[in-house]
Amino acid sequence: MPPILLAVDKTYPKGLMWFRRDLRVDDNAALYHALRKCRQVVCVFVFDRAILDPLPRVDRRVEFIRESLVELDAELQALGSGLLVRHAVAQDEIAELAHALEVQAVFANRDDEPEAIARDAQVFGALANAGIAFHAYKDQAIFERDEVLTQTGQPYTVFTPYKRAWLAKVDDFYLKPYPVRGHADALGPVPEKFHAPVPTLANLGFEKSNLAELDIPTGSQGGAALFDDFLQRIERYRAVRDFPAVRGPSYLSVHLRFGTVSIRQLAGAAHRLAQRGDEGAATWLGELIWRDFYFQILAHRPHVASKDGSHSFRPEYDKIQWHHGKHADLLFEAWCKGETGYPLVDAAMAQINQSGYMHNRLRMVVASFLCKDLGLDWRRGERYFAQHLNDFELSSNNGGWQWASSSGCDAQPYFRIFNPVTQSQRFDPEGKFIRRYLPQLAKLSDAVIHAPWTASPVELQAAGVILGENYPNPIVDHAEARERTLQRYAVVRK
């Protein structure tokens, strides 16, 4: 553990800790460094109007953040401090607040999303003009930016060699937690004139979602409980992760997104278990490495998710002529509503629409269906996921959609096209997941529930299914759509 520095050794009399996507006390890089460098630290979170104002008035993510902040505030109060919460444009508010609090430095953890980089540049400039320092630290990833490069000093664009290099480099130093509580005596109270409770959703202009009904745990305590549960079954992860009706995933993605868990804690535990031969832990660690991989892709190639529209990582794929017009819009609407006539696709879309979550295998299935069965631009699906996923992560969402559309780095070859029926038969063989989200199909047999149009009239009648009325006929024929996709992608071959 690093030594605790005496107050006289500290660089700044007073500092401001700006929480963003790191809503926890323990193992928080920026908070640790702020406490080490300042005699007194005040903590702040800004509900950024630049982000919140365009959102619909019911958004589970805003509610998740708000509930997590209540816990964070209580935890900081227990340490003799508290959390100053503002509802403003962060780009303007931080510099104004730093001046009003008379701090000499602002501390934050880095965010490599393009809009966050632009915001931080503006904040840095405003603070510099006021003579206030701005320090940013790595906290979202184990390795970021230029930390894992090829032997020629270039960023990796293929995952497998990146993973090998990642695993070769990682050690206890990179996985070691920051001992924040050992320096918590530097936490200062929120000045009385700024003190106020965490605003309610109504104060922020939002309405309650179904977050509580979904029993999604919030805050660092919720993240810790989920991780403890997952560790009891992590050894089975590799065997069960692709089956949506099974409790296989960790369900920690939303906690990673908002930093209510530490990536060092998760990767450290998985790495230790993997070294002991736990295949489930090794597979899950690979998923965390994918997350780092997509972070560094976005950092080096921000054009893949630029504000004016995402571009293909592989430029030749931007030449593809996607289906467009009124008919395309109708197909997209059917996909969004889960009314494609393909039960696994529709059940997956019902899951995201009802809960803001979608099983990872199903994300691949519905993305492939949108691009390669319906012939629609992957960017439409990318935007829909961005609006609806509780765990929306720009880099991973963009990377996943580009993977499915074959336009990204290390993507699925364009000629590999998921068959939604065989995917259903393989990964939901008993139709349990389908029955949960499409109860109108619940009485169909396991043999036909994956493709109701193959059922006999007697079977349909017995199950109470009327195709075209209480469940749609398929909106496309998969075999025909596959041939059209191969023709559409011919431009890439040329």
Q: How far is residue 237's CA from residue 360's CA, in Å, rounded to a whole number? A: 13
Q: Which of 18, 284, 290, 403 is catalytic?
A: 290
Q: How far is residue 29's CA from residue 422's CA, in Å, rounded to a whole number? A: 46
Tell me the one-letter amino acid at 40.
Answer: Q
What are the distances in angstroms from CA 285 to CA 223, 291, 438? 17, 10, 33
Residues whose CB is less than 8 angstroms from the CB of residue 294 and which lie 6 or more positions away in sequence, other chains included: 393, 395, 396, 398, 399
Report which of 115, 413, 116, 162 is spatially closest to residue 297, judged by C-alpha positions.
162
Q: Which of 166, 284, 401, 403 is catalytic?
A: 401
Q: Which residue has the tokens 């994918």?
A: 290
Gyration radius of the chain over CA positions: 24
Is there a catalytic annotation at residue 403? no
293 touches 162 (CB < 8 A): yes
111 touches 81 (CB < 8 A): no
Is there a catalytic annotation at residue 353? no
CA 48 to chain centre: 18
39 touches 192 (CB < 8 A): no
Q: Which of 378, 390, 397, 398 is catalytic?
A: 378
Q: Which residue has the tokens 């403890």?
A: 228
Q: Which of 144, 360, 419, 459 is catalytic?
A: 360
313 touches 409 (CB < 8 A): yes
97 touches 191 (CB < 8 A): no
Q: Which of 115, 144, 235, 322 is catalytic?
A: 322
Is there a catalytic annotation at residue 166? no
Q: Which of 287, 339, 353, 419 is catalytic?
A: 287
Q: How far is residue 94's CA from residue 481's CA, in Å, rounded to a whole number? A: 52
Is there a catalytic annotation at residue 378? yes
Is there a catalytic annotation at residue 284? no
Is there a catalytic annotation at residue 290? yes
Catalytic positions are 287, 290, 322, 360, 378, 401
